[in-house]
Structure 1
Amino acid sequence: MAEAYPWQAGLWQQLAGRAQHAHAYLLHGPVGIGKRALAERLMARLLCQQPQGLDACGHCKACHLLAAGTHPDNFILEPEEADKPIKVDQVRELVNFVVQTAQLAGRKVVLVEPAEAMNLNAANALLKSLEEPSGDTVLLLISHQPSRLLPTIKSRCVQQACPLPSEAMSLAWLAQALPESSEQEHSELLCLAAGSPLAAVRMQAQGVREQRAQVVEGVKKLLKQQISPSQLAESWNAVALPLLFDWFCDWAQLMLRYQLTGDEQGLGQADMRKVVQYLADKAAQPKVLKIQDWLLQQRQKVIGKANLNRVLLLEALLVQWASLPGPR
């Protein structure tokens, strides 16, 4: 059974406690807050033959079939490969499932994640099923970036925002999830994960804190001319490009903010505060704006899985970064 996260208690009561369910829900919010678990929990509740209060019983035939992944009235639509689009042929298979009669004489439930992975043809193919699903069918769409969805998709769903948990609640949960780590490490991980506790756990497993320390040290050496852009670019082979561009975009934004406000409390995480302040003091604002614009453009390409030469891209970034200090 899907895990019930403490920050979802109120949202769960609101969803599972409905006397009558909508034909389609769009669960949207940041990555790493448990939207998939919430959807799977609701799916189990909707398919259960003997629900107990707000939860599935876990013992009936439907619950056993769902746990085994063989429930005939359950359909999960995901990309065939990680980071690939959901294709129109996959959605047509879903549409065929929706028009069939439920085999266990109950509901049919469809789960789609991430909904924004559907290409245009796939999204259009889903519209009819969203508007007029056959029989007692409930579609659960999960989206990490709802702005990428067609307005016609969103308008046919009950949109349910899944907000970030509070910092205190996230830290309390991380203390249990990562008992080997210190409170300081929990805080750093949560900050790196933009407040998403499940993403923080994944980052810990991937060694992101150590990668961040390596990148920060490299940036400091670059500015001191102790290492060349090409050497530094090659030394970051183990660090994911999306992470690198997230960090550099964040640092550029913090520089601009400091240049505009002079607020020393808004310089970001402790590991780069002095560097951000130094660059903000030494770099001309048009130059910072120019590199921020370039970073945002390249980040979109990285997220979109464009065919990029990694080393050349990072070299271009680091050459520009090293040239930031100069006449204002």
Structure 2
Amino acid sequence: MAEAFAWQDALWQQLAGRSQHAHAYLLHGPQGIGKRALAERLMARLLCQQPQGADACGQCKSCLLLGAGSHPDNYVLEPEDVDKPIKIDQVRDLVSFVVQTAQLGGRKVILIEPVEAMNINASNALLKSLEEPSGNTVLLLVSHQPSRLLPTIKSRCQQVVCPQPNLAQSQAWLANALPDSEPGEREELLTLAAGSPLMAAKLHAQGVLEQRAQVTEGVKKLLKQQQSPTQLAESWNSVPLLLLFDWFFEWSHLILRYQMTQDERGLGLADMRKVLQYLAQKSRQGKVLETQAWILEQRQKVLGKANLNRVLLLEALLAHWVQLPGSR
């Protein structure tokens, strides 16, 4: 059974207590706050033949089949590979499932995550099923970035804003999930995950703190002319491309903020404060803005799964960065 999170209690009671459900829900919010678990919990509740209170019973035929991953009236649509788009052929297979009769005589429930992984053709192929799903069908769409969805997708769903945990809830959950970690380490992970505890745990499993140390040390060597953009670009193969662009975009933002406020407390994590302060003092604001706009443009291409040459892209990123000081 999917994990129940304390910060979802009020929303869960609202969803589970409904006598009638919408044909499509769009569950959205930042990544790492438990949206997938909420969708799976609701999916189990909708398919259960003998619900007990707010949750599925876990013991009926439907619950047992769902737990075994062989429920005939359940369909999960997600990218075939990590960070790849959902293809139109996958959506066509889903559409074929929608028009079938429920084999257990109850509901059919479909879960799609992340919805923004569908390209325009795949999204358009889903529209009719979203508007008029046959039989007693409920679609649960999970989105980390609803702004990237077609308006026609959003308009056909009941939109549900998933709650974010407060700091105390995030810290408590992460301490339980990573019992061997130090408080300072968990605080740094939560900062890198923008406060999302599940994302913090995922980043920890990916070795993000080691990756962060490698990148920050590389940036310092770059600015001291101890390493070239090409050398660094080739050495960062293990660091996710989107993570790199997120960090550099945040750093450009912190530089601009310091240039306007001179507030050292707003320079982010300690590992880059001195570097960002130096760049803020040595760089022309217009140049920083140009670099930030370029980073954002390339980040959108990465999000859009564009076919990019990773090394050349990172070389260009670092070339922009190394040109900042002295641009006044």
Q: Deviations over 1:57-110 (max 9, x none)?
A: 000000001111111111112223332222333223222222222221111111
Give 1:150 shift: 1.3
Q: Which amino acid aligns with 1:125?
A: A
Contact 2:287 2:327 in 1 (8 A): no
Q: Does 1:109 align with 2:109?
A: yes
Contact 2:85 2:305 in 1 (8 A): no
Percent identity over the alignment?
A: 76
> TM-score, normalized by length of structure 1?
0.95
74-83 or 52-61, which moves further after superposition?
74-83
Q: Which amino acid aligns with 2:113?
A: E
Q: Could you tell me which residue of structure 2 aligns to residue 60 of structure 1?
A: 60
CA distance in 2, matches of 1:65, 1:86: 26
- Counting only pairs closer than 5 Å after superposition, residues 150-299 of structure 1 correspond to structure 2 as 150-299=150-299
Q: Which amino acid aligns with 2:145?
A: Q
- Counting only pairs closer than 5 Å after superposition, residues 64-75 of structure 1 correspond to structure 2 as 64-75=64-75
Give 1:277 shift: 1.2
Could you say what secondary structure the match of 2:140 adopts? strand
CA distance in 1, matches of 2:82, 2:322: 35
Cα distance change of structure 1 residues 74 and 172 upon mapping to structure 2, 3 Å threshold:
same
Cα distance change of structure 1 residues 284 and 176 upon mapping to structure 2, 3 Å threshold:
same
In structure 2, the gaps of 5 or more residues are none
Q: Does 1:13 align with 2:13?
A: yes
Q: Deviations over 1:239-287 (max 9, x none)?
A: 2221111111110011111112222221111111111111101101111
CA distance in 2, matches of 1:235, 1:103: 53
Q: Could you tell me which residue of structure 2 aligns to residue 31 of structure 1?
A: 31
Could you say what secondary structure the match of 1:320 adopts? helix
- Counting only pairs closer than 5 Å after superposition, residues 57-136 of structure 1 correspond to structure 2 as 57-136=57-136
CA distance in 2, matches of 1:161, 1:197: 17
CA distance in 2, matches of 1:86, 1:54: 32
Could you say what secondary structure the match of 1:49 adopts? coil
RMSD across aligned positions (CA): 1.5
CA distance in 1, matches of 2:228, 2:86: 41
Give the count of matched residue pairs: 328
Give 1:327 shift: 5.2
CA distance in 2, matches of 1:227, 1:128: 54
Q: Which amino acid aligns with 1:174?
A: L
Q: Could you tell me which residue of structure 2 aligns to residue 144 of structure 1?
A: 144
CA distance in 2, matches of 1:284, 1:90: 49
Q: Which amino acid aligns with 2:81?
A: E
Contact 1:30 1:163 in 2 (8 A): no
Q: Deviations over 1:211-253 (max 9, x none)?
A: 1111111212222222222222222222222111111111001
CA distance in 2, matches of 1:26, 1:320: 39
Q: Which amino acid aligns with 1:214?
A: Q
Q: Could you tell me which residue of structure 2 aligns to residue 324 of structure 1?
A: 324
Cα distance change of structure 1 residues 99 and 268 upon mapping to structure 2, 3 Å threshold:
same
CA distance in 2, matches of 1:202, 1:163: 19
294-303 or 183-192, which moves further after superposition?
294-303
Give 1:146 shift: 0.8
Contact 2:110 2:140 in 1 (8 A): yes
CA distance in 1, matches of 2:279, 2:118: 41
CA distance in 2, matches of 1:313, 1:128: 39
In structure 1, the gaps of 5 or more residues are none
Could you say what secondary structure the match of 2:142 adopts? strand
Q: Which amino acid aligns with 2:32?
A: G
Contact 2:84 2:305 in 1 (8 A): no
Could you say what secondary structure the match of 1:170 adopts? helix
Could you say what secondary structure the match of 1:27 adopts? strand
Q: Which amino acid aligns with 2:244?
A: L
CA distance in 2, matches of 1:123, 1:229: 39
CA distance in 1, matches of 2:65, 2:215: 47
Could you say what secondary structure the match of 2:319 adopts? helix
